[in-house]
Each structure stands twice: as structure tokens, then as C-alpha cells.
Amino acid sequence: MLLKNASVYLGLVILLFASIIFWQSLEYVYYTDTGPGPGFFPLWLSGGLAVVSLIYIITSIKKDGILLSEIIPRGEGARNILSLLAGTLFLLLTINYIGFVLAASILLFCLLVRFYRWYLGLGISLVVSLCLFFIFYTLLGIPLPVNYLGW
């Protein structure tokens, strides 16, 4: 029954996250001459999160939690999740080679084409990608990956 308990897995993921943040916070100064340093709050918050996640794991083991079979989607929901994960993986693998605008447009098109006509999905994906590129790259000055054409 423990292997099917989704609550235990969720608690373990949160505990892992809290442990990583706790470990990273040890690299910052804990206390300075003027008060708490940059490592003070991350250390205490991640430590508290780790304690709460341990309590959650223990509580989930003692009683029946949420079963994995109850929360894992089937059919259309599973296809939506898989297409989102595949599209995100594609974006991560290609963004440095084909640039942000093209990679984001392909990702959005693949996600939208299932719900809209192809030309509407293509138009929306291009407009959204170009607007995001303009906002972040031009207005905010945040560097985004570009292709040899500069977009």
C-alpha cells in the first residue's frame, strides 16, 4: 500500500526540495553586523519546510493517503500532460540552436493545434512568441537565445 500512496511521494519531493535549499543556504552568510544575512531566511524556511514535510510523510504512512491510481489522469488528460512534457523537452533541446522565437512558436503551435484550427494556432503562437521576445529582450534587456537571424 505504501508504494501506491501519492502523499508519501509528494512529501519526499518536498523534503528533497527543502534539503537542496537548506544545503544551498549554508553557502551564504548567516548573520552580519547589521542583522540577519542572506542565508538566514532560506536556512530557517527550508528547515521548517523539511520538518513539516517529515511530519506529512509520517502522517501519510500511518493513514491511507491519496492513491496514485486516483490522481493519475487517463485518456485525454494523459495526452495533454505528455504533449506538454514533450514540447517542453523539445524547447529545452532546441532553443539554443533555433532561437527563442522559433522554439517557443513551435511549442505553442504543437499545444494549440489540437484545440484550434492550424492557421489560428500558428498565428497565436507567432504573435505570443514575438510579443514575449519584444518584452523581455528589447524592453527589459533580458538576453534570450537567438538564432543567426537575431530572433
The per-residue pLDDT for range 64-96, each reduced to its tens digit, is 777 777 888 888 888 888 988 998 999 999 999
For helices 100-112 and 118-133, the axis angle rounded to 10 degrees is: 150
Q: Can you tell me the distance from the alpha carbon of 115 to that of 109, in angstroms, rounded to the nearest whole number? A: 10
Q: Decide: 67 and 6 in contact? Cβ < 8 Å.
A: yes
Query: Which of 71, 98, 114 corresponds to the end of one domain?
Result: 71
pLDDT of residue 72: 82
pLDDT band at 3 (very low <50, low <70, confident <90, very high): low
Query: Residue 146 falls within a domain, yes or no?
Result: no
- Decide if pLDDT at 2 tops 60: no
pLDDT band at 56 (very low <50, low <70, confident <90, very high): very high
**Which domain range does residue 10 map to?**
2-71
Q: Are residues 58 and 107 in the same domain?
A: no
Q: Decide: 37 and 31 in contact? Cβ < 8 Å.
A: yes
Query: Residue 151 falls within a domain, yes or no?
Result: no
Query: Which of 33, 51, 71 corresponds to the end of one domain?
Result: 71
Q: Are residues 36 and 61 in the same domain?
A: yes
Q: Between β-strands 31-32 and 35-36, what pairing exists: parallel, antiparallel or unpaired?
A: antiparallel
Q: Are residues 67 and 100 in the same domain?
A: no
Q: How many domains does the chain have?
A: 2
